[in-house]
Amino acid sequence: MKPAAFDYLQAATLDEALDLLHEAGGDARVIAGGQSLVPMLNMRLARPAVLVDIMGIDDLRKIEASANDIRIGAGVRQAQLEAWPNLSARLPLVAMALPWLGHVQTRARGTVCGSLAHADPSAELPLSLIALQGSLHLRTKRKRRTVAADDFFLGMMATELGEGEMIEAVSFPTRREGTGYGFNEIGRRHGDFAITAVAAVVTERSASIAIAGVDDRPRRFDVPLPSDPGLDDALNEIAWDLNARDDIHASASYRRELTRRLGRRTIEEAAACLV
Amino acid sequence: MNEHTRPKSLVGKSVERVEDASLLKGRGRFIDDLPTRRDTAHAAFLRSPHAHAEIRAIDTEKARAHPGVYAVLTGEEVANLTNSLVVGVKADVECWPMARDRVRYVGEPVVLVVAESRYVAEDALDLVEVTYETLPPVIEPRAALLDDAPVLHPSLGTNLINERAFRYGDPDAAFAVAAHRIAITTAYPRNSCTPIETYGVIAEYDPGEDAYDVTANFQGPFSIHAVLSRALKVPGNRMRLRTPPDSGGSFGVKQGVFPYVVLVAIAARVANRPVKWIEDRLEHLTASVSATNRVTTLEAAVESDGRITALSWDQIEDCGAHLRAPEPATLYRMHGNMTGAYAIENVTIRNRVVLTNKTPTGLNRGFGGPQIYFPLERLVHKIADELGLDRLDVIRKNLVPSDAFPYRTATGALLDSGDYQSALDRAVTEGGLDELIARRDAARAEGRLYGIGFTAAVEPSVSNMGYITTVLTPEARAKAGLKNGAQAVATVGIDPLGSVTVKVASVPQGQGHRTVLAQVVADRLGLPLSAVRVNTELDTNRDAWSIASGNYASRFAPAVAGTAKLAADSLRGRLATIAAAQLNVTAEQVEFADGKVFDSGNPDNSVSFARVAAASHWAPGTVPEGTGQTIRETVFWTPDELTAPTPQDGINSSLCHGFIFDFCGVEIDRDTGAARIDRYVTMHDCGTILHPGMVDGQVRGGFAQALGAALYEEYAYGADGAFLTGTLADYLIPTVLETPEPVILHFESPSPFTPLGAKGVGEGNCMSTPVCIANAIADATSVEDLTLPLSPSKISALIHGEEKPSAKPKRDVKPMKARAGERTLSGEGSAEVSAPREEIWAMLLDPKTLEAIIPGAHKVEKISDTQFRADVTLGVGPVKGRYRADITLSDMVEPEAVTLSGGTEGALGSGRGQGRITLTKTETGTRVSYSYEAGIGGKVASVGGRLLDGAARVVIGQFFQSLARYAGRGKAAKSASSGILARLRSLLGRRA
């Protein structure tokens, strides 16, 4: 369990990182917290020729709050966001989801944007970003673009990121007046990959849920309000609409059942936060 | 306070462990910490990605030429320098540590590379090319017995490597007259106790003396030393085996390092330098050892009052691909205890040992216990339910009576001591069973799912080295020479200044042997704990040892610590004689306490221990004649009760028998199916308790591992033999967050057969807890047929009933067809193409076309009209690998349909798939319909299972989409998955 040889380059500035990614092309990977990439390197599942470490770039380590969103740089570790004093007030859904993300030790190293770039279908941060309809700020040496979360996650560990492109920051829309949030997750053990995780966003007039762990990417659906008798049927259709998989930890049928039961529970909890 | 009236005994107190200061400060000396010679090289193994395959060719040329590589060895080359490992039953089968012409489990070593570093060695592994021809695997033990089952070992001609039938008492009569016959069939899964430190071996070969010197974190039994010497073709005195000072856990598992001792020793010989190998976690989970999985049918003859008069066992034991020493010991370790804690006079047993395409099995904490208590205690639960009796009453009614000890069981065990009824009664009272029942009733009244489970068990300790010969017929046993006993050894030495050193061949793995031995010996010699220092490293060239040496079968407290007491007593007797002369009293009047030796009638008449002890060193002439020296005493001890199997196959398989009674309350979450342990009470009678803190530690540790077996852990295999739990994200060990604190209770019935009255205690909960939790879940769900581990998904299927269907028409709903636990997937789809069928048909036979449409293809060669070979790069996210793919066309109906079947091989694993393509004429061209089925094995399946299904689906879908697009040359009708191209671009990087 030793990695194949690679070049390791520390970038001091964002421009330097982008230059290095540009030069190395498809054989380069960005390394930030390394919590997903390093095990893959050690098992030789991933064999990039070049690793560009972005953790030395000061500009990327900022959490910037504005009226409508919180912008989190690519160098911000999950623990740093967890410790951000305004988290519960400004991003209550993320505050609920973060404790489920791995363990204290992995959050101390892992970054927010690294989890988004890895795009594990069970992961809590992509789920939260989809639920809140946030967006990602992507950069290459030549261009910058902002991509909606819905367009960023393409499938199992597959994202919209192109060659030489990296996430510079992510923007989470902040808490809105008159909105309730809910989050629930079922895993085998604390800190495990979610079998099913559900995030709900509910207002007086609308409700939506986002679900991770079932399909090959987190997906969001508008649903009837919790008081609507049609909610259970709607959740059932969502359960069948997701391409639930069987694996050694849970059957597809179990994942659908959790979508129904956890879906309702989470929507009700989000609605309860409204008042 | 008068110093002589202080409580003197250290034994029985939870003294601070002498091991902990260095361990907690990171100063432990584990095998990977040990100094090695400057020229030490490092080994790495190429392992089989297939469960069952013939090895057609191994090309090691590039690996041998790689800079920094010292040696590359195939199984054939190893075999040329060694003998096959000894197999424990009479059967025409060989057992090689590395595959020769055939691989029989995923992870089996195929090639060994020795290089200047582990990095370089692993680089070289990537350069080895092995050509396999896959064979159908057999995974399930019952399937292994079918007439048409694939046979693992052609020389054996069958997968049934051993079968024996036993009969004790008059079971036929008991069953004939029984009021009821109640039976249960269970399948106990594969799991392991998973030490945090993996295997490690450092080996050297001295050509001058033709001798090996090996340090390995082996744990015993040292009967394996004989296996090693024979395999390496040297006398035992040229196979020096040493163990490191500290070990990071074993739980039996480290016994299984021995095949690697052979391999690394041979590697050192061939590479002509010391070689070190530290197993990594993937290697450990995939290919170290596992406990056996077992299918059992157990039937009881039962009276109307619940009294069991006979048991009939039918056990099918799955030992994996090879029967490695000491297997089939898992099946026979409990042979004397097949009636558990019950007095049942009549027993039949049918034991079958089968081989399957899974990792060979070996020692594991609880060894053979969980496999028998699961069916036995599930059956007792079922008997009560079927007869409408109270479950606890049925247990009580059948327990061995309190006045019956020592009690000879039907199958030959001599239960040494106990009072099972009283221990049970105390557990019920002190553990609060009434309150638990009230909680259950309250929960049920609220509509919650809550159940209570019970288990009674006997925990054997100190194995009879002769028990395994029960696998032989009485005639074969007599011919081979009867085997019995279990030699324990301890040495106590006193240096010239009077400090004491204890040396035992016990090889601890964190249990605290050094502390307990210091307690025992300090007590006997009247010394403070700090005056005694204990060494537990073992060196077969230097130390006293025997085949029974090592740390297994819970033998430390009853046998090893007891032998240390005997050695200390022997020295004490001589010291008393020397002191008596100095004190002018008789030896009988001499007492030892507080570092002094004194006249018990007049404590002021004393001399220091150091002065008495010094006599043998400094003034042997002053030692009374005939006393002998007091410098060093080595005692070997084997208990008389451990006799060889009788001609009637009765076997006292273990010396001591502790008693356990457990009960627990478990609640099931109605929404999620998750089981929560509300309370767990565990009562232990392990005889005299030497160190209460360590005994409770053993109980807690065993309980945590048993909780894993009950709810979380399984070494899972796909139907194709792919190993599916190669990481600790898939093999789920409960952490402290999942493990509740059990209520631990004690009852002490000293063993009359051991020097200190102690019995083993380390394995009991691994035997009793899995079934106790299952019994509670059966009570909560009213479901009888339960298979561990009871995951929320499994329990959900039991309680949630039929799934609510979709309201949409069926054709819109496309659930994936892959079955749980199998790394196989299937799918179907179609695309409209604006080209005639004939044109598409021609494309399928053209390598240039295939090169364009096979995802990630670099080159496609045509081997024959129906055979192609492709070189492809496939991946998902950062996971990328290069593979060689062989594709065969068959069932060709031109121009309507063709079947493509193929296999791939690469460093990350292997894949096999089959797709049927149907071409249907439409108004605008052709409809290309496809269906496929694929399986993936090797490393990727073991560690990346979560990611594979989606990735393979994308890649396979892409092939057919490309076919359609290529055929339509850009004019293809828009397909259902139009986003697939963007996805593939990111999947395959710039190759796409």
3-state SS of chain A?
CCCCCCEEEECCCHHHHHHHHHHHHHHEEEECCCCCHHHHHHCCCCCCCEEEECCCCHHHHCEEECCCEEEEECCCEHHHHHCCCCHHHHCHHHHHHHHHCCCHHHHHHCEHHHHHHHCCCCCHHHHHHHHHCCEEEEECCCCEEEEEHHHHEEECCEECCCCCCEEEEEEEECCCCCEEEEEEEECCCCCCCCCEEEEEEEECCCEEEEEECCCCCCEEEEECCCCCCCHHHHHHHHHHHCCCCCCCCCCHHHHHHHHHHHHHHHHHHHHHHHC
Assess whether the previous peptide bond of B620 is cis (omega < 30° from 0). Answer: no
Choose among B816, B808, B792: nearest CA to A236: B808
Chain A contacts of B939, Cβ < 8 Å? Answer: 43, 45
Q: Give residue B818's pLDDT.
A: 42
B482: tokens are: 């009867």
Chain A contacts of B735, Cβ < 8 Å? Answer: 189-191
**Domain end (from B249, B272, B287):** B287
Q: For chain A, how many structural domains are there in total?
A: 3
- Does residue A217 share a domain with residue A260? yes
Do the Cβ atoms of B820 and A248 come within 8 Å? yes
Assess whether the previous peptide bond of A224 is cis (omega < 30° from 0). Answer: no
Q: For chain B, how many structural domains are there in total?
A: 4
How many Å apart are CA B465 and CA B644, to the nearest integer?
Answer: 9
Task: Let me know if residue A16 belongs to a domain.
Answer: yes
Do the Cβ atoms of A26 and B989 come within 8 Å? yes
Q: Does A240 touch chain B (CB under 8 A)?
A: yes
Do the Cβ atoms of B990 and A163 come within 8 Å? yes
Q: What is the pLDDT of residues A230-251, one digit of tens each?
A: 999 999 999 999 989 888 999 9
Q: What is the pLDDT of residues B905-932, one digit of tens each?
A: 777 777 777 888 888 998 888 888 878 7
Do the Cβ atoms of A45 and B725 come within 8 Å? no
Mean pLDDT of chain A: 95
Q: What is the pLDDT of residues A86-128, one digit of tens each?
A: 999 999 999 999 999 999 999 999 999 999 999 999 999 999 9
Mean pLDDT of chain B: 92
Q: What is the mean pLDDT of residues A208-215?
A: 96
Does residue B496 have a pLDDT over 90? yes
Domain range enclosing B862: 824-991
CATH number at residue B561: 3.30.365.10
Q: What is the pLDDT of residues B304-318, one digit of tens each?
A: 999 999 999 999 999
Task: Let me know if residue A1 belongs to a domain.
Answer: no
- Does residue A82 share a domain with residue A12? no
pLDDT band at residue B962 under the 50/70/90 scheme: confident
pLDDT band at residue B981 under the 50/70/90 scheme: very low
Domain range enclosing A266: 181-274
Quick one: CA torsion of B556, B561, B563, B566, rounded to 10 degrees? -170
Choose among B271, B280, B277, B279: nearest CA to B39: B271
Q: Residue B868: what residue type?
A: F
Nearest CA in chain B to A158: B877
- Does residue B198 share a domain with residue B183? no
Task: Let me know if residue B922 belongs to a domain.
Answer: yes
**Domain end (from B590, B608, B637):** B637
**Domain end (from A123, A156, A173):** A173
Do the Cβ atoms of B877 and A158 come within 8 Å? yes
- Does residue A237 share a domain with residue A144? no
Place of tokens 């994200």: B729
- Does residue A169 share a domain with residue A64? yes
Q: Does A48 touch chain B (CB under 8 A)?
A: yes
Do the Cβ atoms of B672 and A236 come within 8 Å? no
Cβ(A267)–Cβ(A180) below 8 Å: no
Task: Let me know if residue A121 belongs to a domain.
Answer: yes
- Does residue A63 share a domain with residue A102? yes
- Does residue B442 share a domain with residue B353? yes
- Does residue B524 share a domain with residue B410? no
Q: What residues contact residue B289 under an 8 Å CB cut-off, 6+ apart?
A: B192, B253, B255, B256, B324, B359, B360, B361, B362, B363, B364
Choose among B121, B119, B120: nearest CA to B111: B121
How many Å apart are CA B105 and CA B720, to the nearest integer?
Answer: 11
pLDDT band at residue B23 under the 50/70/90 scheme: very high
Does residue B954 have a pLDDT over 90? no
CA distance A5 to chain B (A): 8
Q: What is the pLDDT of residues B628-664, one digit of tens each?
A: 999 999 999 999 999 999 999 999 999 999 999 999 9
**Which of A37, A189, A244 comes nearest B815 by C-beta?**
A244
- Does residue A157 share a domain with residue A70? yes
- Does residue A19 share a domain with residue A122? no
Q: Give residue B507's pLDDT.
A: 95
Do the Cβ atoms of B989 and A251 come within 8 Å? no
Task: Let me know if residue B951 belongs to a domain.
Answer: yes
Does residue A28 have a pLDDT over 70? yes
Q: What is the pLDDT of residues B81-121, one digit of tens each?
A: 999 999 989 899 999 999 999 999 999 999 999 999 999 99
Please identify among residues 112-131 of chain A the ones whose CB lies closer than 8 Å to any CB of chain B: 118-119, 121-122
Does residue B813 have a pLDDT over 60? no
SS3 percent helix, strand, coil of chain B, rounded to 5, is: 30, 30, 40
Q: Give residue B799's pLDDT.
A: 96
Q: What is the pLDDT of residues A156-177, one digit of tens each?
A: 888 999 989 999 999 999 999 9
CATH number at residue B972: 3.30.530.20
Q: Give residue B829's pLDDT.
A: 74
CATH number at residue B251: 3.90.1170.50
- Does residue A205 share a domain with residue A254? yes
Q: What is the pLDDT of residues B665-708, one digit of tens each?
A: 999 999 999 999 999 999 999 999 999 999 999 999 999 999 99
**Domain end (from A173, A196, A231):** A173
- Does residue B437 share a domain with residue B524? no
- Does residue A167 share a domain with residue A63? yes
- Does residue B209 share a domain with residue B75? yes
What pTM value is reported for the model? 0.93
Cβ(B293)–Cβ(B189) below 8 Å: yes
CATH number at residue A251: 3.30.390.50
Does residue B796 have a pLDDT over 70? yes
From the number of C-beta atoms within 10 Å of its C-beta (0-12, 13-18, 19+), residue B953 rates as: buried
CATH number at residue A146: 3.30.465.10
CA distance A251 to chain B (A): 6
Helix (H) or strand (E) holding B175: helix B171-177
- Does residue B788 share a domain with residue B730? yes
- Does residue B444 share a domain with residue B541? no
Do the Cβ atoms of A262 and B712 come within 8 Å? no
Q: What is the pLDDT of residues B121-141, one digit of tens each?
A: 999 999 999 999 999 999 999
Choose among A204, A184, A149: nearest CA to A264: A184
CA distance A167 to chain B (A): 15
Percent of chain A scoring above 70 in pLDDT: 100
- Does residue B265 share a domain with residue B168? no
Task: Let me know if residue B479 belongs to a domain.
Answer: no
- Does residue B842 share a domain with residue B766? no
Cβ(A131)–Cβ(A212) below 8 Å: no
Percent of chain B scoring above 70 in pLDDT: 93
DSSP structure class, residue B582: H
Q: What pairs with residue B828 in β-bridges?
A: B931
3-state secondary structure of B117: coil
**Domain end (from B287, B321, B339):** B287
Task: Let me know if residue A2 belongs to a domain.
Answer: no
How many Å apart are CA B296 and CA B309, to the nearest integer?
Answer: 19
How many Å apart are CA B397 and CA B682, to the nearest integer?
Answer: 20
Q: What is the mean pLDDT of residues B475-487?
A: 94
Does residue B204 have a pLDDT over 80? yes
Q: Give residue B887's pLDDT.
A: 84
Cβ(A141)–Cβ(A164) below 8 Å: yes
Q: Give residue B811's pLDDT.
A: 47
Q: How many CB pairs under 8 A join A and B?
A: 172
Q: In angstroms, how far apart are the furthest CA atoms of chain B?
A: 121
Task: Let me know if residue A86 belongs to a domain.
Answer: yes
Q: What is the mean pLDDT of residues A185-194?
A: 94
pLDDT band at residue B969 under the 50/70/90 scheme: low
Q: Give residue B924's pLDDT.
A: 83
Q: Give residue B493's pLDDT.
A: 98
User: How big is chain A, counted in residues?
Assistant: 275
Q: What is the pLDDT of residues B523-543, one digit of tens each?
A: 999 999 999 999 999 999 999
- Does residue B124 share a domain with residue B11? no
Task: Let me know if residue B28 belongs to a domain.
Answer: no
- Does residue B714 share a domain with residue B586? no
- Does residue A150 share a domain with residue A83? yes
- Does residue A166 share a domain with residue A69? yes
**Which of A5, A43, A216 comes nearest B282 by C-beta?**
A43
Q: Give residue B945's pLDDT.
A: 64
Does residue B759 have a pLDDT over 50? yes
How many Å apart are CA A239 and CA B807, to the nearest integer?
Answer: 12
Do the Cβ atoms of B712 and A160 come within 8 Å? no
Q: What residues contact residue B809 under an 8 Å CB cut-off, 6+ apart?
A: none
Percent of chain B scoring above 90 in pLDDT: 80
Q: Does A275 touch chain B (CB under 8 A)?
A: no
**Domain end (from A173, A190, A210):** A173
Place of tokens 């990296």: A166
Cβ(B839)–Cβ(B964) below 8 Å: no
Q: Give residue B8's pLDDT.
A: 72
Q: In angstroms, how far apart are the furthest CA atoms of chain A?
A: 59
Task: Let me know if residue B155 belongs to a domain.
Answer: no
CA distance A89 to chain B (A): 28
- Does residue A229 share a domain with residue A131? no
Does residue B943 have a pLDDT over 80? no
Q: Give residue B947's pLDDT.
A: 61
Tell which of A161, A188, A192 to mutate to test the B interface (max B CBs under 10 Å).
A188
Q: How do strand A28-31 and strand A50-53 relate by DSSP bridges?
A: parallel
- Does residue B446 share a domain with residue B498? no
